[in-house]
Structure 1
Amino acid sequence: MNFKIQNGNINDINEIFRLYKIATDFQKTRFTVHWPEFDKMLIETEIFENRQWKIVTDDKIACIWATTFNDPQIWEEKNDDPSIYIHRIATNPDFRGQNLVGQIVEWAKAYAVEKQKKYIRMDTVGDNPGLIDYYTKCGFDFLGLLKLKNTTGLPTHYDNATVSLFQLTLNQH
């Protein structure tokens, strides 16, 4: 299949929320912590700031995610490092098993270099051995668990949470 990575747009809102709902429903079957219903304004802001992304094939959205260059409440003092942060990867069930996270990682490497960043970072809520294994196979180093101190303004699944931290260091020459 021919996959293209591009920014999400306002016409994608319904599909973005549909994919979040599918992902959240799946999380509820496996984990005690799951995504809340995200605020529409958050997603619209990410779209308008070109931080909402999608993988598209044959005019279908296969996967979505968001990026930011700041994540101080999760990464604390490491937030000062030049990094891109990836959030909320949600895959369309019709496209599972197609290594879309691998494609996101390859895209993120080029995007991070273009934006003069040294690290690609992600977090997941909780201690999830399956996801830890998966993300390390995708090239991330598992940095360990961190109990969040200040979650004001973060989505509710971060309240009183411990997160798994992941980092991919770019080799810049």
Structure 2
Amino acid sequence: MKIENSTINDIDEIFRLYKHASDFQRSKKTVVVWPEFERSLVETEIAEKSQWKLLIDGKIACVWVTTFSDEQIWGEKNQDSAVYIHRIATNPDFRGNDFVKIIVAWAREYAAANQKQYIRLDTIGNNTKLIEVYTRAGFDFLGLFDLKDVTGLPVHYSQGPACLFEINLSDPS
């Protein structure tokens, strides 16, 4: 197993995984389903080295995105020193491997290397199964919040409240 930045050669596979994630959300009758993301968004993330992949036997098992700022979602808390994780998508051939826990272990090291105190993520809508997955992986569930301004965010951010999660790395527990 290896974690590294995605490359432009991975973009078709990234979009395939996003489509599988959206199809899975629909099959589970999730309130909020991911839209089709703009290709230019992912190309920019790859160029900025914020798009990541987990490889198993040379195959992409999972992808996600990181950023160090997320003001529209986190508001005043964006002033905190944090790494934000977005769009975790798992290859259906590898589903059930609890990749969120692996991503959290990686993110702890990544945050420390970048002098960040928090690891944060969000999901849209009251998805109780996903809340369970994230809390089991070590995140504190901070609650549901209505976002004030979703201008420029992917369209699904206007479809429900945001569930916010964080791990405080300076908390010894």
TM-score class normalised by the smaller sequence: over 0.9
Question: 8 Å contact 2:51–2:66 — kept in the other structure?
Answer: yes
Aligned residues: 171
Normalised by the length of structure 2, the TM-score is 0.96
Shift of 1:128: 1.3
> Which residues of structure 2 form unaligned runs of 5+?
none
The more displaced of 149-158 and 126-135 is: 126-135
After TM superposition, the runs of 4+ consecutive aligned structure 1 residues lying more than 6 A away are: none
**Structure 2 match to 1:50:** 49
Question: 8 Å contact 1:6–1:54 — kept in the other structure?
Answer: yes
Alignment of 1:14-93 (within 5 A): 14-29=12-27, 30-93=29-92
Task: State the superposition RMSD in angstroms.
Answer: 1.2
**CA distance in 2: counterparts of 1:109 and 1:22, whole angstroms:** 27
The more displaced of 4-13 and 123-132 is: 123-132
**CA distance in 2: counterparts of 1:163 and 1:127, whole angstroms:** 8
**Structure 2 match to 1:11:** 9
Question: 8 Å contact 1:148–1:160 — kept in the other structure?
Answer: no
**CA distance in 2: counterparts of 1:43 and 1:153, whole angstroms:** 15
The alignment status of 1:117 with 2:116, answered yes or no, reads: yes
Question: 8 Å contact 2:124–2:159 — kept in the other structure?
Answer: no
Normalised by the length of structure 1, the TM-score is 0.96
**CA distance in 2: counterparts of 1:172 and 1:7, whole angstroms:** 28
Identity %: 58
**Structure 1 match to 2:132:** 133
Question: 8 Å contact 1:144–1:165 — kept in the other structure?
Answer: yes
The 1:160–1:148 alpha-carbon spacing in structure 2 relative to 1, beyond 3 Å, is: farther
